[in-house]
Structures are given as structure tokens and as C-alpha cells.
Amino acid sequence: MAETGKIKRKLMGHFINTALPDASTAVYERLGKDLEEYNIEMNANVDTKNNINGEMSVILDSYQPQGSVEPYYAEIGSALFERLQGIIDDRQTLDDLKTDVVEVHLWEAETSGSYVAYKEEAIIEVSSYGGDTTGYQIPFNLHYTGVRTKGTFNPGTKTFTAAET
């Protein structure tokens, strides 16, 4: 049965590729466990000017989207934990931090268990690690690069298929 009315938050899925950048196959894990919210801040680059006629012009020419995953509780056996711990242990930088994130519209079903989705390249920034008595925490930020591909995603098989152009 199709959802109607307001869209429930759980129907906007975010899947992060936990595989290393040189891996031949993506390994997606859904973000959300222990997260009460996850927002992608668009960080628009806006330039406003007043001309000599007293009129204002507004130019929005780009976005620098980013999301913050906090808290993230480390769990043995999680591929995402292993990826984040590798960043910490090896003090990874540059291309070693590349990944992709798939945004899945779970309210827009396509065929055979797939949904409308957008895959975007991102850089993982571990902001800190440690935490309090509730558990070992590794909060991190995702800096989206703007290289975005429309397609479909199957949550059952965790596979993204790019749309034909």
C-alpha cells in the first residue's frame, strides 16, 4: 500500500559505502542507528548586492552540502566502524577518505524492490573519537562533492543502479 500525506522520516534512507576507495564493489550500510536526526546542510554560496537603483540582486551559485553523524557508537562487526577506525588508526587523508552516499526515497518505489535514489561522492571527516560511559563513539562528518548520479537502490541487495542517460 502506498504512503500518502506527510512523509515519515524513516522513508528517507541514507546508505554509506563502507568499502575502501580502491575496492571493486561497494558495501553499503544504512545510517540511522542511535541517530535521532540526520540533516544535510546545503551551505549555499549566496551573493547579495544592492545596485544604484536601490534594488537588490541575489545570486546563489553553488552548494557545499555536508551532514554530521553524531553520535556514532562503534560496534564490532560493523563495516562502517572498521572504515572509521582505519581512518583514525592510519591518520588517513586525501583520497583515502573518499566514499559515496546513496540517498534513497523509500516512498518512491520502482520495480522489483528498488527505489528512486541519488548517489553522491563524499569525503569522510572523523571529528573526534572516544566518548563517555555510554560507549566508544566516533562522530563524523560527510562532505558531499556535488558529483551526483540519479538511479535506483535496492535495500534488500544494497545495490545502486545508475539511470540510463
Pair 37, 119: CB distance under 8 Å: no
The SS3 of residue 52 is coil
* Sign of the alpha-carbon dihedral angle for 75, 116, 97, 139: negative
Residue type, 139: P
- Tell me the per-residue pLDDT of 121-164, one tens digit each, with 9 for 90 and over: 999 999 999 999 999 999 999 999 999 999 999 999 999 999 99
Q: Amino acid identity, residue 136?
A: Y
The structure's pTM equals: 0.92
Residue 136 cell numbers, joined: 566508544
pLDDT tens digits, one per residue of 53-88: 999 999 999 999 999 999 999 999 999 999 999 999
Q: Domains in the chain, ordered, with CATH?
A: 9-162 (2.40.30)
C-beta neighbour count of 11 within 10 angstroms: 13
